Structure 1
């Protein structure tokens, strides 16, 4: 019954989603070259992270600028475990993704604790500070590259090894299909939650916390559930990112600038629908690189990116202020 309810939810149109899924699985690999396959793989991964942000902000009303933190944590955990285990063995890599997602979910619950006391711009600042803390930690310990010890860092370039991939997704095209399937599963999980009791509770909390509380909704439980689920999704995406770029992973994907960029493109794609996450990922990983390489030029990139950050943050401020006025928190 829950599956049928999820499939009938307005945020998930089965026909269109099925067509896009089949197109991505069978048509795109046959017409795109290696560079575009790489970019569209990154799009599938980024869409999961964008969906986690959109779910928090658009569905629960929680303004989080810290989703790159569980994204980075999931990447570190999955990469480290991948070097310690026999990834090509069937079924191991999905377990590593789940492990990275669960560790990230625990961190997401810790991020969610301030949300019980603060909201709006204060929550945005708190989550951004937490993201900066994770950035500092990752800069300190580095992402594993196949070396010895707990950190697993190989400092000599010749000692670095690519992160192992599952045998069913060893090549770039196969891994693109693998990433699309995982993204599809993550979106289905999000839809299942949104179409069930948690989704209704989140909608009520987003509209008015006092009204939700008066209706008997446990606000604490559902806020923490939202942060945990969003962090789990971002953590799984982090694991995919590590396998995607292998030994060329970069801390820049998880820094404060990436955090601001993420919220900016999600706001532009749309926060009220999961389709907005797909648009945000397309804009961030396909359109902007294409414009940079073919239209704008590399010298314009930094100024253009900063403009996007400014627009996104301005929209963020306006929408948050309106939401607080609606809830009676501002005069």
Structure 2
């Protein structure tokens, strides 16, 4: 068979090869650029309360991103992500008071320390999966909460805990923010940029060798082992990456709150975080953004904007989780575009019937 391409076909193939991006990738890049432009330019102009809420949405998107990698990419059900967030908040607060580090270095060091803690938690749980892993990580979250109640967060004191028991907390300095982002609006933009970097790191992992190894482990550990995948190494890698993201998010949250308190973090928050992650979508990075909105934006709308008891949000989470488990395992990040496409085709056919010409072929 003659495999020499004809001049026309060869030129077309060369032109396609010269294109750096295919159509689907180009659309995704444009969507990301538009999303970031809206997040950085438009959203900060809405109001101060909204700016604070969207800052929390960006921070919790990073947390759910790590949880989505563990569950959606590797198949590890972890309920300890809130515990790692607490470790990140505590570590970031302590280092912030103790050392005069530039904020980007503070973020990296906090993430690295939290990463080590996450790996230590993940080591004894490597042989577990499913419900057993979920229970072990939930117990770890409970243990972290007990320790937190005992020592509380640092507030500028001395010693290892960095806490001073003073009745008047008004004179204490809050956790330092970056010098270029001390105001709420500037800090919101700073958090969005850091979150975008974390999403880029996750994308590089998912598209690279770790992502392929994680997919093999999720589908079948025996098959992955037979294919030469180092299961222990890549599971620890996933724990390390998710823990690093939780540490970075914790440091950002500490600077946003100013003076974190132990009452702000409860063990049951781990269950809520897993629920919103499943609702958002564990197989798509966009699902982490949806989960962040569910986690922080919905309670704000219920309590502040609509004057409704925010506990009703838990009912919505339960209904959403049930719907995801039964009909939409990909979550809203995958199901919503499909539903909108089906609705668009239905409307298009309806318009064709009304005009009498029929729906045009695509």
Deviation per CA, 1:13-49, whole angstroms, max 9, x where unpaired?
A: 22111111122112222x2111110000011100000
* Map of 1:120 onto structure 2: 130
Mind listing any 5+ residue stretches in structure 2 that lack a counterpart? 1-19, 330-362
Question: Is the Cα contact below 8 Å between 1:115 and 1:223 reproduced in 2?
Answer: no
Q: Distance in 2 between matches of 1:284 and 1:216?
A: 39
Shift of 1:7: 11
Question: Is the Cα contact below 8 Å between 2:51 and 2:185 reproduced in 1?
Answer: yes
* Map of 1:16 onto structure 2: 31
Q: Distance in 1 between matches of 2:326 and 2:80?
A: 16
Q: For 1:194-209, what aligned pairs fall within 5 Å after superposition?
A: 194-209=206-221
Shift of 1:211: 0.5
Shift of 1:275: 0.5
Q: For 1:1-331, what aligned pairs fall within 5 Å after superposition?
A: 13-29=28-44, 31-87=45-101, 92-156=102-166, 157-247=169-259, 249-295=260-306, 297-298=308-309, 301-302=310-311, 304-305=313-314, 308=317, 312=321
The alignment of Structure 1 onto Structure 2 pairs a total of residues equal to 309
Q: Distance in 1 between matches of 2:307 and 2:281?
A: 25
Question: Is the Cα contact below 8 Å between 2:299 and 2:313 reproduced in 1?
Answer: no
Mind listing any 5+ residue stretches in structure 1 that lack a counterpart? 321-331
Q: Distance in 1 between matches of 2:325 and 2:78?
A: 11
Question: TM-score when scaled to structure 1?
Answer: 0.86
Question: Is the Cα contact below 8 Å between 2:92 and 2:251 reproduced in 1?
Answer: yes
Distance change (3 Å), C-alpha of 1:172 and 1:59: same
SS at match of 1:153: coil
Distance change (3 Å), C-alpha of 1:102 and 1:8: farther
Q: Which structure would you say has the larger Rg?
A: 2
Q: Distance in 2 between matches of 1:27 and 1:296?
A: 25
Distance change (3 Å), C-alpha of 1:129 and 1:309: farther
Q: Distance in 1 between matches of 2:126 and 2:313?
A: 36
Q: Distance in 2 between matches of 1:6 and 1:228?
A: 31
Question: Is the Cα contact below 8 Å between 1:66 and 1:131 reproduced in 2?
Answer: yes
Question: Is the Cα contact below 8 Å between 1:260 and 1:309 reproduced in 2?
Answer: no
Distance change (3 Å), C-alpha of 1:256 and 1:309: farther
Q: Distance in 2 between matches of 1:7 and 1:153?
A: 55
Shift of 1:151: 1.4
Shift of 1:258: 1.1
Q: Distance in 2 between matches of 1:67 and 1:317?
A: 25
**Which structure's relative contact order is higher, taking Cα pairs within 8 Å and 6+ residues apart?**
1
Shift of 1:144: 1.3
SS at match of 1:216: coil
Kindly report the root-mean-square deviation, in angstroms, between the aligned alpha carbons of the 2 structures: 2.8
Shift of 1:303: 5.2
Shift of 1:256: 1.0
Question: TM-score when scaled to structure 2?
Answer: 0.79
* Map of 1:324 onto structure 2: none
Question: Is the Cα contact below 8 Å between 2:279 and 2:320 reproduced in 1?
Answer: no
